[in-house]
Every structure is written in C-alpha cells, then in structure tokens.
Amino acid sequence: MNITDRFLKYVSFTTTSDENTNMTPSTPGQMTFAKFLVEELTSIGLHEVELDTNGYIMATLPANTDKNIPTIGFIAHMDTSPDMSGRNVKPRIVQNYDGKDILLNEEKAIVFETVKYPEILQYKGQDIIVTDGTTLLGADDKAGLAEIVTAMEYLIAHPEIKHGKIRVGFTPDEEIGQGADHFDVPKFACEWAYTMDGGEIGELEYENFNAAGAKVHFKGTNVHPGYAYHKMINSMRIAQQFIGMIPRHETPEHTEGYEGFYHLTNMEGTVEKTTLSYIIRDHDRDRFERRKKEIQHLVNKINAEFGENTATLELKDQYYNMREKIEPVMHIIDLAFEAMQEVGVTPNVKPIRGGTDGARLSFEGLPCPNIFAGGHNFHGRFEYVPVQSMEKAMMVVVKIVENLAKK
C-alpha cells in the first residue's frame, strides 16, 4: 500500500482522546484502531507484534545482518487532539497545488486563505491533503504512523538494505499528555528512538517545553438574584478577574521561539462553581518554576480578597525539556541530520513549542528526539499535509536505518 492510501485509511478511524474518562486508552476508538494496526503490522511481515491492555503496540523488524548494530526504535501516537472533532474526517487531495486559496467547504463557505497560512505556498506544485473544514485532519500523528509502517514495509521489500534490529512503538493518548504513562521502556529495549511527530518538512527537534497543567477552582454562593445584595458570590465573575490577572502578552498568540506562556484551554462555570484549565509552558526550567509559583501567587491574591478557599489550585507537572538527556548523545541527532540531507531534505533544527512522547521517554532512559511528520496547522480545521513531505519522512526513516548499519 502506498503512503497516501495508508494515511487516508488511518484518518477514517475516530481516535480523539479525552482527558476526562480516566481510562487507558481514554477512548474506545483508539483500541479499535490499534487492533487494525496490529493486523497490518503482522500482514506486512513484522515480528513480535503485541498489543497490550492499555492500547500500546510494539513490533520488531529483525536484523538482516550479523553486524553488531544498536537496536533503535520509531514511535508515533494513534490519538488525535480533542481540540477539534476527529469524527467522520473527509480528506481531499488537492493535486498539483496552484498556490491559490482552497475552497474546503462550499456549503459552509469555509476557505483556506493563503494570506493567513502563507507557509503552504512553499508546496506549490505538490499534492496537498486537506480537510472539508468541519474536522481536523489527523496528520498529527497519523502521518507519522503511515511513515513508519511504510518504511518498515519498504525495508522488508528491499533486503539489500542491511540494518540492525528495529523496534516500532505506537501509543495512545499523547494529545492529553498521557502517551508515555504505560510505555514499557525496558520491554521496548532500544538504545535510542525517534518520534515521528514533528511538523513541516525538515524539522528535527531535541528541545521542548517544560510543561504543567493547572486547574483553578472558584467557589461561589448562589442566591436568588432579586435578593442577592451582599449575599451572592458569583464564581464566574471571580474567575473572570483571575483571567485578567494573567500577563496578557504571555499567551500562545503573543509568544514564539523560546518564549513560554500560560494558556487557558477550558472554562466551565455556574454561579456556585467555576473551573479554569490552564497549560503552563517554558523551555527554561527556572522560568517554568517561576510560572508555576505565579499561578499560586494569583490564587493567593484571590483568596486574600474574597476569603480563604475561594480559589483552590490543582497543579501537575506533565513533562520536561529533553535537551539535557539528548545533549550527551548528540550522535543520534547527527544521524538524523545526515539522513535528511541524503534524501534531499534541508534539516531545520529547532525547539518544539510543544511536547512529544519522546520528552518523557527521554527521562525514562530512552533518548528520543523528534522528526518531522510533514503536517501543518495541527488540531484545527485548516490542518493539511503534503504527500511529498510524508514520502520524504518515510525515506528519512529508511536512511537512518541504512546509515546506522554502515557506521
């Protein structure tokens, strides 16, 4: 199966993750997809194909040479972001893209405007897979899955390419920060691995955010509004005041590069109870710790004004910057860098303004930098992926394996 058909098949599965179910995988669609992938991996000839009760897949491509070559792995995640629906995805291939705006949905008048997303112009003349504007696409990270599976199929079909033992790992629930929760690093048994979970073609990343999640709960008192004078305490208004206390320019829409942020991801409320959900991000560990302290400080200020326990804070670290774990083994970055160059891709080494399973796995003893999967505008209706970017990513996987055996 070619990589395009494989990707289109993958996005037909509904695999949106959900942080509120307290299950692993968090949604049943992920397990349905995992069972399909197990059948596919077995059918193309991989060995030791296993699916555990938590929805994690591991498989092996055995070595085809007696040389002593390190065992390495390739990892991608099966879930899609809950930020937008991933149900009934209707992808469309815009062949030989002409550089103009793309009408995604005539009925709903949804147009992909190049003035808003000019990055797409670099793919003029290529084949672009887009949505119909009502869902996300799922290139994050079904493009990565398709690239890994197609690379394994290619290596099996080309035994003249000598390689060591290769491990494949597919995880659930990465989008809700739980992708590495039940990943068995000793069982995976690799010296290092790569996640195929980056963005545009050429991305190679070994720095990521330090990350925490915060929930701030506000307690109010409900009284009939006609008799509420000096009695009602409206938790939604207090929450609104808290939102205004967050530095307004330290948000995702005002930051780039190495700049961190506070991001309000969800708000739910009534007069009696309101909850704000934030994610806190910063590449620098000291600034990251200061951001967490600032959230607690603002909670304390609310309680000083409105009374003790009006606001309560739940704060949990999610992952840390993998740079400190990758820098001692920079040869694994050099290997990926050279592989990109050899297949005609210009490497773009940059920090991830996000996180991957590889960040946490790096701290669990599996150094795991991130390689591009090829998509743009993840988590939204204007997500797209060029077919040629997926093909290049697949060849990067093949070339890494080939060059490692040669070295």
Which residue bears the tokens 């790096």? 362
**CA angle 61–16–111, rounded 5-degree value:** 110
Going by C-beta distance under 8 Å and a sequence separation of 6 or more, which residues neighbour residue 131? 89, 90, 91, 92, 104, 137, 381, 382, 383, 384
Going by C-beta distance under 8 Å and a sequence separation of 6 or more, which residues neighbour residue 328? none
d(CA 187, CA 369): 19
Where in the sequence numbering do the catalytic residues fall?
A: 79, 174
Give the three-class secondary structure for 204.
Answer: strand
d(CA 91, CA 207): 32
Going by C-beta distance under 8 Å and a sequence separation of 6 or more, which residues neighbour residue 347? 202, 204, 336, 337, 340, 341
Whether the bond between 141 and the residue before it is cis, its omega within 30 degrees of 0, is yes
